[in-house]
A and B are shown apart, each in its own frame.
Chain A
């Protein structure tokens, strides 16, 4: 039982990872795919933050009387990864706007149908 409850943050990360991944694969709507991609990336952020936790550790701010800190490095890494994620989303959505202008639709199957009829 401890395996499930004691590691609940990891289970949430894995659940979100699968939800995001499945959305990217299964959805035909280009915006929904980007949403799935975002969920997938966020799950990885959670994974990193979970890894950085030290049992009984305080927030990594140096003050008197506290000896044990959580590891701040993964937090910094994830700040970088969040920026990368934002840039990817922005670029992806910009492409979707251009696709909508060029095809008049953002459904994958309709785009395929148009390309093959050419």
Chain B
């Protein structure tokens, strides 16, 4: 069993997805999803433990030796990302029970869980695989199922935003495919480790540069890196809340992992500095942090506000990549984890409000903070973490990011990071003002606290935000180890 750990992580949800679809309506599909995600969470934990203690796992699919067969190659980086994905999924599913019953028509519930499990399969597959074409296939599995999931939203705009995401996402994936084809034409291999060996010889060729650019742009689209983020605010706003929680906390993180993998493992070290990739990452990161945060301030829908904030947070992660230093990549990986925790908690709390009043527009939620103290508490703590107040997880990521910027003597970037935090104070402040300091509308006076099944998963994430703000051994330790595995030079 431990031998097949890495494969089981992908195969179990893949088999469970059609099973969930044919189960009768009611709670059985949910129970299936819950069992599967919990098992995967445990397996991912075992996998990370095995990787950290015994070194890299290499699994040959069907017994075909790499580079001919497909290889699953697990090191500290993807074991960590797989743990994040399965952990968030295992927390999202308990939350989904009530939230999905409220927001999704009953006859679609089995299909909803089926698509959810497929999306989960795709995301885990992307993290596990060591074959770059296999990665494309998993990318499309996760993308296609997430388009379907987004279109399940209650408003009709959900359909148009799913369509918009489908067009942009397919363009991104096809760009990636073009890039892989160009690189394959020069190296004759698709295995990432094999590519890493063969690329240095041909890294001066224009074809390889073009392929690299196609892969980067393709994944920048999936990552919603500013200014390629246009699909994200609509998709997050109109998707069912559970799906917003899941995608916000996992899909962009996995895309970021692929960026790191391609930049630092597949392409030879130093390649990033031969063409001005790092500068582009820093530029779009800076622009994203400032512009998306300003956009967030003017939103009237809380979900949309948080979606713009996500674009800004992706900007922070892009900065870390742009530095191309060990410290920068460490900061990116730490923020990847912490952002999953804070956005997960915030979207879940907003979902609890939607569960009660069916909406989350600023003028409809006024005064609700007093009636729903636990939900309000989750939003405040999540907001503090987003701002980066000491004692929360957000502080740790900002701290390492500032250290990485200082290491480069990039004072402007330090200023940008701090301005981004100040802007976060303003937009989270607006939400808190509406929830607590505005008088409640009469229609809202009867609103009660959200049910415990919604609050419990939310508060698990809130406590995680505080816990990982105080005890950084796991996050920082693993992130530093991961940066080392990626082989990023110290400076």
Binding site for B on A (CB under 8 A): 17, 21, 24, 30, 33, 37, 40-41, 44, 47-48, 51, 74, 77, 80-81, 84, 87-88, 91-92, 95-96, 98-99, 102-103, 111, 115
Which residues of chain B come closer than 8 Å to A17, judged between CB atoms? 178
Which A residue's beta carbon lies closest to that of B189? A73
Which residue of B144, B151, B177, B184 has the most chain A CB atoms within 10 A of its CB atom?
Answer: B177
Q: Given A47-B178, A88-B166, A91-B144, A77 and B133 touching (CB < 8 A)?
A: yes
Partner of A91, one of B147, B156, B160: B147
Which residue of A24, A87, A92 has the most chain B CB atoms within 10 A of its CB atom?
Answer: A92
B159 close to A (CB within 8 Å)? yes
B162 close to A (CB within 8 Å)? yes
Which A residue's beta carbon lies closest to that of B169? A88
Which residues of chain A come closer than 8 Å to B156, judged between CB atoms? 99, 102-103
Q: What is the distance, in angstroms, from A3's C-beta to the closest C-beta of chain B?
A: 14
Q: What is the distance, in angstroms, from B363's C-beta to the closest C-beta of chain A?
A: 15
Contact of A115 with B170 in the complex, beta carbons under 8 Å: no
Which residues of chain A come closer than 8 Å to B166, judged between CB atoms? 88, 91-92, 95
Contact of A84 with B140 in the complex, beta carbons under 8 Å: yes
| In the complex, per-residue mask of B168-192: 1 if CB is within 8 Å of any chain A CB, else 0 | 0011011001100100110000000
B357 close to A (CB within 8 Å)? no
Q: Given A41-B174, A102-B156, A95 and B181 touching (CB < 8 A)?
A: no
Partner of B181, one of A40, A47, A87, A92: A47
Partner of A92, one of B137, B163, B184: B163
**Cα A37 to Cα B167 with chains together (Å):** 8
Contacts A91-B166, A98-B151 aside, 18 further interface pairs with beta carbons under 8 A come to A21-B171, A24-B167, A33-B167, A37-B170, A40-B171, A41-B170, A47-B181, A77-B133, A80-B133, A84-B137, A87-B140, A91-B147, A92-B167, A92-B170, A95-B151, A98-B159, A102-B159, A103-B156
Which residues of chain B come closer than 8 Å to A21, judged between CB atoms? 171
B354 close to A (CB within 8 Å)? no
Contact of A87 with B151 in the complex, beta carbons under 8 Å: no
Which chain B residues in 409-437 approach chain A with CB under 8 Å?
A: none
**Cα A103 to Cα B163 with chains together (Å):** 14
Which A residue's beta carbon lies closest to that of B141? A84
Partner of A95, one of B137, B140, B163: B163
Q: What is the distance, in angstroms, from B213's C-beta to the closest C-beta of chain A?
A: 14
Which chain B residues in 117-166 approach chain A with CB under 8 Å?
A: 133, 136-137, 140, 144, 147-148, 151, 156-157, 159-160, 162-163, 166
Contact of B177 with A81 in the complex, beta carbons under 8 Å: yes
Which residues of chain B come closer than 8 Å to A37, judged between CB atoms? 167, 170-171
Contact of B163 with A30 in the complex, beta carbons under 8 Å: yes
Contact of A51 with B174 in the complex, beta carbons under 8 Å: no
**Cα A111 to Cα B157 with chains together (Å):** 9
**Cα A74 to Cα B187 with chains together (Å):** 13
Looking at chain B, what size class is its interface with the partner chain?
A: 20 to 34
Which A residue's beta carbon lies closest to that of B178? A44
Q: List 19 A-B contacts (CB under 8 A).
A: A24-B171, A37-B167, A37-B171, A47-B178, A51-B181, A51-B184, A74-B181, A77-B133, A80-B133, A84-B136, A84-B140, A92-B163, A92-B167, A95-B159, A95-B166, A96-B163, A102-B156, A103-B156, A103-B160
Q: What is the distance, in angstroms, from A94's C-beta to the closest C-beta of chain B?
A: 9
Which residues of chain B come closer than 8 Å to A41, judged between CB atoms? 170, 174
Contact of A74 with B167 in the complex, beta carbons under 8 Å: no
Contact of B174 with A99 in the complex, beta carbons under 8 Å: no
Which residues of chain A come closer than 8 Å to B151, judged between CB atoms? 95, 98
Q: What is the distance, in angstroms, from B99's C-beta to the closest C-beta of chain A?
A: 22
Contact of B185 with A99 in the complex, beta carbons under 8 Å: no
Contact of B159 with A88 in the complex, beta carbons under 8 Å: no
Which residues of chain B come closer than 8 Å to A40, judged between CB atoms? 171, 174
**Cα A74 to Cα B184 with chains together (Å):** 9
**Cα A109 to Cα B166 with chains together (Å):** 18
Which residues of chain A come closer than 8 Å to B171, judged between CB atoms? 21, 24, 37, 40
Contact of A44 with B170 in the complex, beta carbons under 8 Å: no
**Cα A17 to Cα B175 with chains together (Å):** 11
Contact of B137 with A115 in the complex, beta carbons under 8 Å: no
**Cα A96 to Cα B167 with chains together (Å):** 12
Which A residue's beta carbon lies closest to that of B157? A115
Which B residue's beta carbon lies closest to that of A20? B174
Q: Given A47-B181, A51-B185, A88-B166, A111 and B160 touching (CB < 8 A)?
A: yes
Which residues of chain A come closer than 8 Å to B184, judged between CB atoms? 51, 74
Q: What is the distance, in angstroms, from B485's C-beta to the closest C-beta of chain A?
A: 28
Closest 7 CB pairs of A and B: A102-B156, A51-B185, A84-B140, A95-B163, A99-B159, A98-B159, A48-B181
**Cα A96 to Cα B157 with chains together (Å):** 12
